Structure 1
Amino acid sequence: MKKAGKNGIHVFLSKQHVDEGCSLGKTLKRSQLAELTRYSKHGGLTLVLTADDVAVQGFCMSNCGSHGLVPKKKSTFIWVGNSMSQCPGQCAWPFHQPIYGPQDSLLVAPNADVGVDGMVVNIAKLLADTVTNPFGNGYYQGEAEAPLEAASACTGVYGKGAYPGYSGEHLIDASSGGSYNANGINGRKYLLPALFDPSTSKCWTLV
């Protein structure tokens, strides 16, 4: 991203790189995630996605993804894992049965792929958290070591009327039965999480 004066911020998309050979192996430490940003540019934001057969330290147990820094490049990165074969109950709800809590409020994944639709949710969460708190000194609540950020402060909320175990109101695609609250390009539909609104001290939802 690059500042553009009075015109706001310009966003430039860089190239996509695929590490098919898993150069760092398929069992990664969190400290290795920054190494996967080797193609990132100075001041950029890199999105790292790992396949459903790649295990990352802490994945499923404490998080579904994370964001961090690459100090030498003054850049940030987001990592999100595909939980389908490892922990869909933790990282693909509300499209998959949760491990704990109510078991009767599942939604149909809008793109018919529970793992990838779950990744979209986590990407959206972390993108909001990274933009508002890129270096750990931006917007967050609580302790810096375990902050509640713009999206993590509203975990499990996707529409109005949400409560623990119920994701809230949303739209239904008549052709697929998929639940969504946002429209993408080429007719794609997505379910995106709520963000905390400091002006109202409530979670703001698209629907």
Structure 2
Amino acid sequence: MFTGIIEDLGTIEKIESDGGNLHFTLKTSITNELKIDQSVAHNGVCLTVVAIDGNRYTVTAIQETLNKTNLGLLKEGDIVNIERAMKLGDRLDGHIVQGHVDQTAICTNILEQDGSWVYTFEYDEKLSNITIEKGSITVNGVSLTVVDSKINSFSVAIIPYTYNHTSFKELKVKDSVNLEFDVIGKYVKRLNELRN
């Protein structure tokens, strides 16, 4: 379980293919605090630490994860958002995030607004995921508030702190991002489907 509050940025130093899996080796400032078998969110994707070597650690993404996320598009040198699982009893500063990506989206617009930024994303509506105005959404692991909710798109407003401390500063129009829709909204939607 995560909160969507990014702890650190990680740099992908090596990507190795192993059958249908990809092993990502990353360098972060918090590697010395990690342990093998720990869950860490990478751009919102929960992956397990499988090896640690100095200030580098390795995680593995299986084919199922690669099919549903943008991890397969990452390259060596790319920056990713990093968050460790929350501790029981900690404050929940973002919202409830599982680290289970629902689908990807494409960034369609970036608007700078005198010290803040508005990013717009479009996603495939056939998967029946929804956003609501002022609801929660996780974009590449970052807990954000939805503005301008539409059937297959939404926008988020980014404050300077978030811009400077996440990979949003690296994001460009046409880039793919991972989306995790609000878990409470998903349960409400599913219950409504079962009633019909």
TM-score, scaled relative to structure 2? 0.29
Q: Rg larger in 1 or in 2?
A: 1
